[in-house]
Amino acid sequence: MNVDYLVNSLYLIKPELAIASALVLLVLIDLIMGNNKKFLPYVAIAGLIAAAYFIIGQFGMNSLAFVSKSNKGMIIADPFGAFFKGIVVFASLFVVYFSIKSDEIKASFERHGEYYTLIFGMILGMFFMISASDLILIYISLELVSFSSYVLAGFTKTALRNSEAALKYVIYGGVSSGIMLFGISILYGITGSTNLYEINSLIQSSSIPNLTFILSGILIFVGIGYKISAAPFHFWTPDVYEGAPITITAFLSVASKAAGFALLIRFIKITFIKSVDSAGYWQLVDLIDWKTFFIFLSIITMTLGNFAALWQDNLKRMLAYSSIAHAGYLLLGMAVLSNQGMIAIIIYFAVYAITNLGAFFVVMLIANKIGSENIDDYKGLGYSQPFLGVSLAIFLISLTGLPPTAGFIGKLYLFIALVDAKMITLAVIALLNSVVALYYYIRVLKNLFLSRPANGTFEFKVSFSNGLVLVLLAAPIIILGIYFTPLVDLAKNSMQILGF
Amino acid sequence: MSLELFLFLVFAAVAAVSGILMITRSEVVMAALFLILNLASLAGLYLLLNAQFIAVVQVIVYAGAIMVLFLFVIMLLRPEHEKIVTKISGIRTFAFIIAALVFVQLAYVILKSHPGSALNSDVTASVNAGTVESIGTELYTNYILPFEAAGFLLLAATIGAVVLAKRKFE
Amino acid sequence: MSLLQLIGITAVKILIIFTMMMLTVSYLVYFERKISAWAQNRLGPNRVGWYGLLQPFADVFKLALKEDIVPTNANKPIHTLAPVIALFVAFTTYAVIPFGPDISLFGITIPLVVADVNIGILYVLALSSLGVYAITLAGWSSGSKYSLLGGIRSSAQMISYEVSMGFSVAGVLLFAGSLRPAAIVLSQHGWMWNALLQPIGFITFVVSAFAETNRLPFDLPEAEPELVGGFHTEYSSMKFAGFFLAEYANMIIASALIVTLYLGGWQVPYIESIGLPAGLVIAIQIISFFAKIAFLLFFFIWVRWSIPRFRYDQLMSLGWKVMFPLSLINIVWVAGLIMIFRL
C-alpha cells in the first residue's frame, strides 16, 4: 500500500473533498464567529461553487478511485455521476438562497451554523450515494443523508408538525435502512464481496441461490425506494414534506430524490447487467425480474401519488404527493431498462429539479407573508401579485407536463422510450395519470386566477433579488420547453456509466 | 464433540433462548436485560469465528453503551405506569410472516452454500482477518473512504443530536 | 506444554490472584479507615487485634450475620443479580493484567498473567463498561427514589468518563502498537514510562479512573447528604458486602491498570543491567509492581480524605468539556512524538 495510490484517488473525488472541507469550515467559522452568523451562507455558497467547478471537470472522467488488491474500487468518477451531482449542487445553491430569505429559518437564527453544516452533511452523503460502487459506502452515505435530513426536518422545533415530521422520518428511515442493511449482509454472505463490479462478475460466472438473491435484492431496494419515496415506502413523504421547513422540503424533493435515483440506476446497471445490445437495451442477469418489478412499482407509485394529491388542501402536502407521482413516472424510465429510458430519466430529472424548486420558492415567499400554505388562502393571488401568480402557474403547468413548458419535454421523452420498448399499456396508464394530475394542478390555478382576493390579503412587494431568482427558475422552463436540444445533448453525454 | 462445537451450542442456545425471552417479557427492563444477554452470547459466537475484535466491540458498543442508554431511558420513563397495549390487530400475524420469511431465507442460504465452493473460497484467509491489526490495516488502506465517510456520519449525528436536544442557545 | 498443564497452571494463577484480591480488599478497607483517621487526627480501629489488624474479619462477620432485607417494591431477581454482576466484573478484569515478567519453573515458561490475550485492553474496557449495569440495576431494582437517582447518576457519569478514558488509552496503544498488556508493559522499558511521555493522558486517565470507580471527589452516585446511600441504600448484609468488595476491588484494578499503562508495569528502570541474579531481578520486579499499586491505592484514599465532592453539573462539564478535549490533545501529542522520533 503506497501513498501515491491514495493521492491519485483524491484527484478523482475533488467535488466530495470540496464539500467536506466546506462542512468542516462551516463548523469552525460558526465556532469562532459566535453570534455573528451572517457569513455562513456565503461560505456555503463558496463551497458549492467550488464543488460545481470540480464537477464540471468530472464530465470528461471515467475512472474508479480507491482501487486496491482486495477491492475493485470504492467510488466512480463518470459523467453520469457528474450530472446528478450537478443537480444536487444546483438544488443546494437555491436552497441556501431560500434559507437566507425564509422567515421560518430566520426565526431559529442561533442554530444557523448547525443548519448549514447539516445541509452540507446531506450534500456530502448524496455525492457518495451518487458515485459509490461499494455496498459499504452506499450504506454509510445513505445514513449520512438520512441522519442529517432527520434533524433538518425537525429543525425549527417550534411547531408540533415539525417535530412530528422529524419523528416519523426517523422511524420510517430507521426501519427501511435496517431492512436494507439486512439485504446487504445477505448479498455479502452469498457473494463474499461488497463491490458492485465484483458482485456483477461473480453472478455472471457462477450459480447463486436464486431465491435468496431475489430477497436480498428486494431488501436492498427497500432502502433506495424509501429515499425516492416509491409506493409502498412512501408513507413518510406527505407528513415530512408538510412538517419540515419549506427549504428542507424543497431540498428533499429534489436533491435527495436525485441521489436516490442515481443510486438506483447505478446499483441496477452495474450489479445486474450482462450486456447492452446495439439498440441500447440492457440485458440483465436473469436472477431478479427487475422489469416486472419496476412496472408494478411505477404503476402503484404514480397512481397512488396522483389520486392522493386530489384531496389535499395544503399546497406543500399536495406537492409531496405530486413528488410521489413523479417518482412513479421516473420509475417508468427504469422499467424500460434501456439507454433511451435512462436519457429520459435524466431529462425528466433536470426539468423536475428546476420546476419543483421554483414551486417551493413561490410557496415559501407566500408563506413568509401570509403564513399559510393552504390552497384556499391563495384565492386571487394572480390578481394582486401577477408576477408570483404567473410564475406559480408556469411551475404547475410544467409539473403537469403540458406544452410549451419543459415538463412536457420530460414526459415526451419518457413516453417515446416506453413506446419504443413496445410498452404501450404502460404508456397509456401513465397518460391517464397525467390527466388526473392535471385536475389538482389546475385547481390551484383556478384559485389563483378565477377568484377575487379578499381585501388586502396580498399587499406586499416581491424584492428585486427574489424576483430575479424567480425569473432564473421560471425562464429556463419556458426556454427549455421550446428549445430543448442542449438538454437532450447533456442527457446523452451524462448517460455514460463507468464499466458498461 | 469438539470444544468448539460445544461452545457454539452453548452460545447459540443462550442467544436463542434469551432472544425468545426478550420478546415475550411484558416487563421492559427484563426484556432489555435479556437483549443484553443475547448480545453478549453473540459476542461469544464472534469469538468462536476468530473475530476477537468484533466480539469485544460488540460487548463495548452494544452491551456496554447502547443498552445502558436503553435502560436509562426505560428507567426515566417508568414504563410500568404506562397502559399496556395488548392487542394490535394483525401485528402478530404480520410479524410471524416476516420472521418465517427471514428464517426460510436464511436456512436456504445456509443449506445451499457449501463450504469450499467457489463463493466462499476465502474462508482460511478470514481466520486471520479478525485480528485488530488486520482490521486496522484494512480500515486505513482499502476502506479509507468509507471510514472517513463514517467519520462525517458521526459528526453529522453528533451535531444533529445537539441541535435536537438543546433547548436554548445562549 | 500440554493442555492439562496449561489448565493446572492457570487454575493456580487464578487461585493466587483471587486470594490476594480478597485479602487486599479486606485490608484496603482497614487502611481506608486508618488513613482517614490519621487525616482527621483520630485513632481509627484499634480494638480488634494488634492495632485493629483483625478488624476486617470482624466486619465481614458482622455483615454476614445481618438480616438480608429486600424492600417490598424491589424487583427481587434483579436486586440479587446486581451485586453479583458487580463482583463478577471486578474480579474477572484482573485476568489480563500482568504482574511480572515470564518466569521459567521446572522447564516451563509461565507468563505471570492469567490470560495473555491479544485484545487485553479492550477486554478491560468491555468489562468496565459492563460494570455500569451493576449500579444501574441496583438503583432501579430497589424501588426507591434515592437508589434510582444514584443509579442514574452513576451510569451517566461512567458513560461520560469512559469516553475520555478510552481516548487516553488510545495514546498508550499508539506507543505500544499492541493491545496486549504484556506488550504495553514492555514498550515502557527504562524511563520510557507513559506517565512521563504523555502526562496529559496520564492525568485524564487517572481522573477518569476516579470517576469510573465512583470514588471521591466523584462519588455522586452515593453522595450520602443528598441520596442516603445512593444505589446501595436498600442493600444490606452480604449483598451490601458484595458492593463494598466490588468497590475496593475496582480500586485495585484501576491502580493496576494505571501501573500497567502508565507506570511501566512490573518494570524497574535499568535493573537488568546492574548484574543481579536473575531470580532476584524477577522478585524485585514483582515486588515493584505491587509497591506501585500500593502507592496508588494510598493515593486513592489520600484524595478521598482531602478533596470535597463535585457538584453534579461540575462533574459533567469537567468530563465533557475538560477531560474529553484533553484526552484528544493527548492523542495528537503522542502522534506528534511518534512522527518526530520514530520516523
The CA distance from A343 to A347, in Å, is: 6
Pairwise pLDDT comparison (A369 vs A309), residue with the higher score:
A309
Q: Which of A10, A140, A158 to mutate to test the interface with B (most CBs of B within 10 A)?
A: A140
The CA distance from A478 to A124, in Å, is: 32
Residue A282's pLDDT band, with cuts at 50, 70 and 90, is: confident
For range C276-283, the mean pLDDT: 82
> Of all residues in chain B, what percent carry a pLDDT higher than 70?
80
Q: Is the same domain home to A234 and A197?
A: yes
The CA distance from A298 to A417, in Å, is: 15
pLDDT higher than threshold 90 for residue A120: yes
Q: Are A108 and A155 in contact (CB under 8 A)?
A: yes
> Of all residues in chain C, what percent carry a pLDDT higher than 70?
96
The 10s digit of each residue's pLDDT in C164-213 is 888 899 888 888 888 888 888 888 887 788 888 888 989 999 998 888 88
Give the model's pLDDT for residue B156. 92
Kindly give, in sequence order, each residue whose CB lies less than 8 Å from that of residue A127, ignoring residues fewer than 6 positions away.
Answer: A15, A16, A19, A85, A88, A141, A259
Residue B83's pLDDT band, with cuts at 50, 70 and 90, is: low
Give the model's pLDDT for residue B170. 46
Q: Are A21 and A47 in contact (CB under 8 A)?
A: yes
Dihedral angle, C-alpha B49, B53, B56, B60, nearest 10 °:
-140
Assigned domain for A149 exists: yes
Which of residues A212, A247, A276 is at a domain's end? A276
- Out of A9-18, B71-80, C300-309, pick the least confident: B71-80
For range B131-160, the mean pLDDT: 88
Which of residues A276, A300, A334 is at a domain's end? A276
For range B35-60, the mean pLDDT: 87
Q: Is the same domain home to A130 and A270?
A: yes
Q: Is the same domain home to A164 and A306?
A: no
The 10s digit of each residue's pLDDT in C99-151 is 877 777 777 777 777 777 778 888 888 888 888 888 888 888 887 778 888 88
> Which string of DSSP letters, residue by residue, matches B57-103?
HIIIIIIIIIHHHHHHHHHHH-GGGSPP----TTHHHHHHHHHHHHH
A144 touches chain B (CB under 8 A): yes
Q: Is the same domain home to A242 and A380?
A: no
B8 touches chain C (CB under 8 A): no
A4 touches chain B (CB under 8 A): no
Size of interface B-C (CB pairs under 8 A): 65
Of A66, A134, A155, the CB nearest to B163: A155
> Which residue is associated with the grid cell 443509579?
C151
The CA distance from C270 to C274, in Å, is: 7
pLDDT higher than threshold 90 for residue B153: yes
**Alpha helices per DSSP H over A132-159:** 135-153
Secondary structure element (H or E) that encloses residue A404, with its range: none
> Which residue is associated with the grid cell 421523452?
A413
B143 touches chain A (CB under 8 A): yes
Q: Are A244 and A148 in contact (CB under 8 A)?
A: no
Chains with 3+ CB–CB pairs under 8 A to B are: A, C
pLDDT higher than threshold 90 for residue A242: no
> Which phi and psi angles does A68 have, rounded to 5°?
-150, 180
B136 touches chain A (CB under 8 A): no
| Closest CA of chain A from B127, distance in Å | 14
Interface of B with C in 69-88 (CB under 8 A): 69, 71-72, 75-76
Sign (positive or negative) of CA dihedral A474, A475, A476, A479? positive
The 10s digit of each residue's pLDDT in A80-90 is 899 999 999 99
The CA distance from B24 to B17, in Å, is: 11
Q: Is the same domain home to A431 and A489?
A: yes
For A254, the grid coordinates are 429534489
Asked if the Cβ–Cβ distance from B71 to C129 is below 8 Å, we say no
Assigned domain for A216 exists: yes
- Give the global pTM: 0.89
Structural domain for A474, as ranges: 289-500
Residue B119's pLDDT band, with cuts at 50, 70 and 90, is: very low
Of B142, B150, B163, the CB nearest to A71: B142
Number of domains in chain A: 2
- The mean pLDDT of chain A is 87
Give the model's pLDDT for residue A234. 86
Give the model's pLDDT for residue B46. 87
B36 touches chain C (CB under 8 A): yes
Kindly give, in sequence order, each residue whose CB lies less than 8 Å from that of residue A8, ignoring residues fewer than 6 positions away.
Answer: A65
The 10s digit of each residue's pLDDT in A454-469 is 666 667 778 888 888 9
B60 touches chain C (CB under 8 A): yes
Q: Are A58 and A81 in contact (CB under 8 A)?
A: yes
Give the model's pLDDT for residue B118. 44
Of C118, C126, C133, the CB nearest to B131: C118
Q: How far is CA C80 from CA B33, C91, C148, C245, in A?
A: 14, 18, 16, 15
Which of residues A276, A310, A342 is at a domain's end? A276
Kindly calculate the radius of gyration of chain B based on its CA atoms and give it in whole angstroms: 20
**Separation of CA C232 from chain center:** 20
Give the model's pLDDT for residue B116. 45
Q: Is the same domain home to A21 and A160?
A: yes
Q: Which residues of A are less than 8 Å from B113 in CB distance?
A: 189-190, 209
Interface of A with B in 20-39 (CB under 8 A): 20, 23, 27
Assigned domain for A349 exists: yes
The CA distance from A480 to A490, in Å, is: 12
**SS3 category, B121:** coil
Asked if the Cβ–Cβ distance from B72 to C123 is below 8 Å, we say no
Taking the alpha carbons at both ends of chain A, their separation in whole angstroms is 28
Assigned domain for A284 exists: no
Which class for B83: exposed (0-12), middle (13-18), buried (19 or more C-beta within 10 A)?
Answer: exposed
> Which phi and psi angles does A374 have, rounded to 5°?
-75, 135
Kindly give, in sequence order, each residue whose CB lies less than 8 Å from that of residue C315, ignoring residues fewer than 6 positions away.
Answer: C157, C211, C218, C220
Strands A63-65 and A75-77: antiparallel
Does the bond joining C217 to the residue before it have cis omega, within 30 degrees of 0?
yes
Residue B125's pLDDT band, with cuts at 50, 70 and 90, is: low
Closest CA to A113 of A218, A56, A182, A35: A35
**SS3 category, A492:** helix
Residue C53 half-sphere exposure, CB side, CA atoms within 13 Å? 3
Q: How crowded is residue C245: how many other Cβ atoms within 10 Å of its Cβ? A: 24
Give the model's pLDDT for residue B81. 63
> Which phi and psi angles does A77 have, rounded to 5°?
-110, 105
Q: Is the same domain home to A331 and A455?
A: yes
> Which phi and psi angles does A380 have, rounded to 5°?
80, 10
| Closest CA of chain C from B9, distance in Å | 22
Closest CA to C174 of C324, C343, C337: C337
Taking the alpha carbons at both ends of chain C, their separation in whole angstroms is 40
Closest CA to C169 of C134, C194, C136: C194
Closest-CA residue in chain B for A166? B164
The CA distance from C217 to C224, in Å, is: 13
Of B33, B60, B131, the CB nearest to C129: B60
SS (H, E, C) C197-247: HCHHHHHHHHHHHHHHCCCCCCCHHHCHHHHCCHHHCCCCHHHHHHHHHHH
Which class for B103: exposed (0-12), middle (13-18), buried (19 or more C-beta within 10 A)?
Answer: exposed
Residue B155's pLDDT band, with cuts at 50, 70 and 90, is: very high
Helix, strand, coil % over all residues of chain B, rounded to 5 = 80, 0, 20
Kindly give, in sequence order, each residue whose CB lies less than 8 Å from that of residue C279, ignoring residues fewer than 6 positions away.
Answer: none
Q: Are B108 and A180 in contact (CB under 8 A)?
A: no
Assigned domain for A282 exists: no
Q: How far is CA A391 from CA A404, A445, A455, B93, in A?
A: 14, 11, 22, 51
| Closest CA of chain B from C188, distance in Å | 21
Assigned domain for A283 exists: no
Q: How crowded is residue A147: how many other Cβ atoms within 10 Å of its Cβ? A: 27
**Separation of CA A453 from chain center:** 35
Closest CA to A328 of A436, A406, A409: A436
Assigned domain for A281 exists: no
Secondary structure element (H or E) that encloses residue C108, with its range: strand C108-110
Residue C2's pLDDT band, with cuts at 50, 70 and 90, is: confident
Q: Is the same domain home to A224 and A314?
A: no
Cross-strand pairs, A407: none
ipTM associated with this complex? 0.90
Pairwise pLDDT comparison (C4 vs A308), residue with the higher score:
A308
Q: Are C231 and C222 in contact (CB under 8 A)?
A: yes
Asked if the Cβ–Cβ distance from A143 to B153 is below 8 Å, we say yes
pLDDT higher than threshold 80 for residue C219: no
Which class for A51: exposed (0-12), middle (13-18), buried (19 or more C-beta within 10 A)?
Answer: buried
Asked if the Cβ–Cβ distance from B53 to C119 is below 8 Å, we say yes
Q: Is the same domain home to A68 and A184?
A: yes
Closest CA to C75 of C149, C148, C156, C130: C148
B105 touches chain A (CB under 8 A): yes
Q: Are C187 and C127 in contact (CB under 8 A)?
A: no
pLDDT higher than threshold 80 for residue C263: yes
Closest-CA residue in chain B for C163? B65
pLDDT higher than threshold 80 for residue A181: yes
Asked if the Cβ–Cβ distance from B164 to A144 is below 8 Å, we say no
Q: Is C310 left (phi over 0), alpha (psi -120 to 50) or beta?
A: beta
The CATH number of domain B1-81 is 3.50.50.60:
no
C317 touches chain B (CB under 8 A): no
SS (H, E, C) A183-240: HHHHHHHHHCCCEHHHHHHHHHHCCCCHHHHHHHHHHHHHHHHHHCCCHHHCCHHHHH
pLDDT higher than threshold 70 for residue B84: no
Q: Is the same domain home to A66 and A105?
A: yes
